[in-house]
Amino acid sequence: MGIKFGREYPDIINDFTEALYSMDECYSFLEMTSEEWNELEPEEQQECIKTLADDIFYGLGSDPKMIVGKCTISHDKDKHVIVIYHGEKLISVIYLV
């Protein structure tokens, strides 16, 4: 099915990457320990999270709601956004148009 978007794809992924990267223990999404994560250079960490953002984006095209770690990531097709919640707290909105 896929996600419809009007913004440039790289811009969406950059925003999504920034949102994921800012989350506590974002490395747990990649099934890494804090020690493994901290051994990576900052550029390597950024690339890992960017790949995760890309994978989740495409996954949301099939399943509009995903649980990643302690967060819920949802695609709201009516509002053209991806939202990230940590529990009940909204922590990020990624605009698709």
Is the pLDDT at 1 greater than 70? The verdict is: no
Name every residue whose Cβ is closer than 8 Å to that of residue 4 and which is 6 or more positions away in sequence.
77, 80, 96
Inter-residue contact 75 to 64 (CB < 8 Å): yes
Average of per-residue pLDDT values in the chain: 92
How do residues 15-62 score in pLDDT, each as one tens digit? 999 999 888 778 888 888 999 999 999 999 999 999 999 999 999 999
**Cβ atoms 52, 20 nearer than 8 A:** yes
Could you tell me the pTM of the whole model? 0.88
